[in-house]
Structure formats: structure tokens, C-alpha cells
Amino acid sequence: MQKKELLYEGKAKKVYNTEDPGVYIVSYKDDATAFNGLKKGTIVGKGVVNNQMSNFMFRLLEKQGIPTHFVEELSERETAVKRVTIVPLEVIVRNKAAGSLSKRLGLEEGTAMRCPVLEFSYKNDDLGDPMVNDYHILAMGLATREELDQIAAMSLKINQLMVEFFKSVKVDLIDFKLEFGKTLEGDIILADEISPDTCRFWDADTGEKLDKDRFRRDMGGVEEAYAEMMKRLGL
Ligand code: UDP
């Protein structure tokens, strides 16, 4: 599988088309941004970690019946994925309070939620990805009722599977962000990535942060944290 033209370059990835109209190639970069692009930097080796960890997670989820865009890992940083139209929503699933939820609701970081919390943001950089609810999503036509119900059900199922898996490698899954895509056939599948850029991972015993919060909060040990997550996954 060969890259043809660069279609899109985002903050952390490049997307190319291929000879196959149904397949794109994603290439993961080491560039890191936070706070809607205000903070910029490099996390050496991040592209490799995020590519390999995402593919590991997508394979695991596929085995448990979750359809994803994963096709084939091509190299350390590149993966062939199904062509989809991204649903313009960021779906956030939370098991414990952290980050913006802690601030907004005055909950100490690490406070357990009685049940998983689902949040949606409208993917729009100019607006800073504002939070929206079902009514906004339907009124703006960002998704249909049926699509939204499917996205919510899939997200909660993915959460169950991920919590269970990460527990087995002594990692507490605090929260994470998902994106979904629509195939040419109209099916909703999991897209984008699952990585320390998009999840909060805390060591189950020590509570040590093993994710992008180390970069966001200038804590140091960023590369080491990403490498530790790879080790936990046996990669
Ligand atoms: N997240 C993400 N991309 C975003 C916003 C959030 O991947 O543009 C992830 C983030 O890594 C965390 C979860 O979604 O695992 C919840 O993030 P939160 O709303 O607390 O925002 P943050 O504190 O990261 O700004």
C-alpha cells in the first residue's frame, strides 16, 4: 500500500489517500499541542507509541465486536485505515473526575463517578471544541438520533472493555476521547486514535500520571511515561 497525496495535516497526524478509494494512510507525528494549540512542543517517539498503541487497542476492540477503521499497520508510524467521514464530535468518557470536569464542577481530581459520564464536543478549532448536548447535535445536524444512540452505546461498551483491559495491566483509566467515522456504506465505526494523547492513564498502585497531562502540566518525564505505557501493553 502506497501513499498518494497528502489530504490533511493535523496537529498530530497526516492523512494520505492511496490507489484504493476506500483506504487512507495515517502517519503519526511527534508534534504535541495542548490547550487548543496554544502550547506546542515535541514528544520524541510519540508518533511511534500512538500508532502502535492505537492499533493494539483497535485490534483488541475489534475482537470484542467493536467495528473500527483499522486495516493494517504499515510501519512504526504508518497505518492503513478505512476511509470515513469523521462525525464532527469528540466523545469524552469519564470514570473519575479530572481536567476540565474537575474545574467545571469543583470535583477533586480522582473523584470516582457513580457511573460513567459521557460528554460531547463539537469539533471546531475556531470555537475551541465547545461542549454540546443531544439537542445541539440534532438541531445542528451533526448526527442523527440513530447515529447518536449508536455512538453513545458503542462508547460505553468501549469504556467497559478498556477499563477491564487497563486494570489487567495495573492502569487506572480515568477518562478518554473517541471519534467516530461514517463509512461509504453509512456504517458508524470507531476512528482516530486511542493513545496517551487521548486518554488519562494513572498507575493503579501509585497514581502516577502516564499520559499527556505530563506535557500539558510541564511535569517532566513525558517520553518515559509514553514508554511505560508501551511496556504495560507488551509492545
Ligand atoms: N481529550 C482529547 N482531545 C481534546 C480534549 C480532550 O484527547 O481535544 C481527552 C483528554 O486527553 C482527556 C479527556 O479527553 O483524556 C478529557 O479531557 P478534558 O475535557 O478534561 O480536557 P483537558 O483537561 O484535557 O483540556
Query: How far is ligand 1, taken at its centre, from the CA of residue 49, in Å?
Result: 18
- Please state, in angstroms and rounded to a whole number, the distance separating the CA atoms of residues 4 and 83: 14
Helix 222-232 vs helix 46-63: crossing angle, to nearest 10: 30
Mutate to test the pocket of ligand 1, among 121, 175, 201, 226 (most ligand atoms within 8 A of CB): 175
Phi–psi pair at 18, nearest 5 degrees: -135, 180
Q: Ligand 1: which residues within 6 Å by Cβ?
A: 90, 92, 98-101, 129, 175-177, 198-200, 212
Which atom of ligand 1 is nearest the CA belonging to 92? 14
State the maximum Cα–Cα separation within the chain, in Å, rounded to a whole number: 51
Q: What is the pTM of this model?
A: 0.97
Cα-based angle 208, 111, 92 (whole degrees, multiple of 5): 85
Which atom of ligand 1 is nearest the CA belonging to 198? 7
Query: How far is ligand 1, taken at its centre, from the CA of residue 130, in Å?
Result: 12
Which tens digit of pLDDT belongs to each residue from 44-62? 999 999 999 999 999 999 9
- Please state, in angstroms and rounded to a whole number, the distance separating the CA atoms of residues 107 and 24: 41
Parallel, antiparallel or unpaired: strands 39-42 and 171-182: unpaired
How far separated are the first and last CA of the chain, in Å rounded?
24
Written in H, E and C, the secondary structure of the chain is: CCCCCEEEECCCEEEEECCCCCEEEEEECCEEEECCCCEEEECCCHHHHHHHHHHHHHHHHHHCCCCECEEEECCCCEEEEECCEECCEEEEEEEECCHHHHHHHCCCCCCEEEEEEEEEEECCHHHCCCEECHHHHHHHCCCCHHHHHHHHHHHHHHHHHHHHHHHHCCEEEEEEEEEEEECCCCCEEEECCCCCCCEEEEECCCCCECCCHHHHCCCCCHHHHHHHHHHHCCC
- The C-alpha R_g of the chain, in whole angstroms, comes to 17
Give the closest residue (by CA) to ligand 1 atom 7.
Answer: 198
Please give the pLDDT value at position 1. 87
Please give the pLDDT value at position 79. 99
Which atom of ligand 1 is nearest the CA belonging to 175? 15
Residue type for position 180: F
Please give the pLDDT value at position 83. 98
Parallel, antiparallel or unpaired: strands 85-86 and 78-82: unpaired
Which tens digit of pLDDT belongs to each residue from 109-154? 999 999 999 999 999 999 999 999 999 999 999 999 999 999 999 9
Averaged confidence pLDDT in the chain: 98
Which atom of ligand 1 is nearest the CA belonging to 119? 19
* Domains defined for the chain, CATH in brackets: 6-82 (3.30.200.20), 85-220 (3.30.470.20)
Please give the pLDDT value at position 137. 99
- Please state, in angstroms and rounded to a whole number, the distance separating the CA atoms of residues 148 and 162: 21
| Residue numbers in the chain where pLDDT is lower than 50 | none
